[in-house]
Structure 1
Amino acid sequence: MLEAAIFVIFPLCLAFAAVSDLLSMTIANRVSLILVASFAVIAPLTGMDWQTYGMHFAAMAFVLAVTFALFAIGGMGGGDAKLLAATALWMGFGMPLATYVLLSAACGGLLTLAILRFRNSPIRDYVGNNPLLRNIADTTVGIPYGIALAMGGFMAFPSSPLAVWAFARLAGS
């Protein structure tokens, strides 16, 4: 049951955030709150020691401080900053977090280039009123970076401590 929660909550929250950002250019606070609350409950049940548990929260606080600074100077949206911090909680300090941040940045760069190319193409004029593509076609709005955070999160999640624990439990280790 605990393994199912680990494999459902994190990916579902990321998928919801990506779709929400695509459609409305916002990521609801409840997504980040669900990620934080579920980690706070699930992690101790996996046998995670308190020092590691605290370091996961320290990772979230560090990422929140950095992303808040980026938000303050206009370099990142508020929903993106909160989502990145909440997902950092699941990754903890270490290689999973570094992998997540690097993959999200790479996906974000590719997403930005693709959207800018789309916005400057003649196709934009034909599909710009489509509800799924409206925000991507609109040159007055930013980039729905929640999509990149979700893509990076999906790729990095299998190496996160809770996913590793759940995989080991399913394998019978």
Structure 2
Amino acid sequence: MILIILGSLFLALCVFAALHDINRLTIPNWLNLTLAALFIPAAFVSGLPLEILGGHLLAALCAFVIAFALFAFNIFGGGDAKMIPAVMLWIGPNAAMDFLFAMALAGGACAMIILLVRKTMPVEVLPGAVRAPFEEKAGVPYGVAIAIGVFVAGPETPFLTEALSRIGFFG
């Protein structure tokens, strides 16, 4: 039951991060830290073997190195580069490719939608809460793509399967 609560809180915070990123084009440090910190009690109560937990830590470390490099080359923003390893703690190595594939597709779709709207609508007609990404030369709120990747890959992880099932996300 505690793992379901922690997993549900993690999922809710991922959605909050996506919405915050749409509104302000940032993901706060406290939010990324909370996403990562929630993994500690989840790992403790999960009862999973240390090898599996180690795999999750290793996946997060690899994600950190890659995301930092993408940030250094100005491909990702700092919040995105911090959110990906925090999320990868929960996703782990078994669902990493599903997560990365879904995140990449969702990121590309977000970018295409943003470009299409920028070309066809004046930004002034958009509601203020979602206007930021559509401003000229604004970035893509990649927190949306990260959150979508979590929901796509989540059913393959031992930490999120039950939480996603309880909220009716899948079978």
TM-score normalised over the length of structure 2: 0.89
Per-residue CA deviation, residues 12-46 of structure 1 (Å, 9 max, x unaligned), is 11111001101111101122211211111111211
For these two proteins, the number of residue pairs brought into alignment is 165
CA distance 1:20–1:165, shift in 2 (3 Å) = closer
Corresponding position of 2:110: 111
Of stretches 19-28 and 31-40 in structure 1, the one that deviates more from structure 2 is: 31-40
Whole-Å Cα distance in 2 between the matches of residues 2 and 12 of structure 1? 15
What letter matches 1:5 in structure 2? Answer: I
Range 101-110 or range 133-142, more displaced:
133-142
Aligned to 1:60: 60
Partners of 1:167 and 1:24 lie apart in 2 by: 27
1:167: how far off?
7.8
1: CA distance, partners of 2:123 / 2:48: 53
Determine which structure has more spread, i.e. the larger CA radius of gyration. 1
Coordinate RMSD, CA, aligned: 1.8
Give the equivalent residue in structure 2 for 1:81: 81
Matched, 1:147 2:144: yes
Q: Identify if the C-alpha distance between structure 1 residues 166 and 135 changes in structure 2 by more than 3 Å, giving closer, same or farther.
A: closer
SS of 1:161's partner is coil
Alignment of 1:124-135 (within 5 A): 124-128=122-126, 130-135=127-132
Residues 95-146 of structure 1: CA deviation (Å, up to 9, x unaligned): x11101100100010110010010011x224414x31232122012111111
Measure the CA separation in 2 of the matches of 1:132 and 1:124.
15
Match of residue 171 from structure 1: none
Percent identity between matched residues is 32
Residue-by-residue CA offset, 1:128-169 (whole Å, 9 max, x unaligned): 4x312321220121111111111121121122121246689x
Q: Matched residues in 1 for 2:77 and 2:123: separation?
A: 27
For 1:2, the equivalent position in structure 2 comes to: 2
> Mind listing any 5+ residue stretches in structure 2 that lack a counterpart?
166-171
Whole-angstrom CA distance in 2 between matches of 1:73 and 1:163: 32
Residue 124 and residue 151 in structure 1: after superposition, are their counterparts in 2 closer, same or farther (change >3 A)?
farther
Tell whether the 8 Å contact from 2:123 to 2:135 is kept in structure 1 after alignment.
no
Q: How does 1:3-42 map to 2 (within 5 A)?
A: 3-42=3-42
> Any stretches of 5+ residues in structure 1 without a counterpart?
169-173
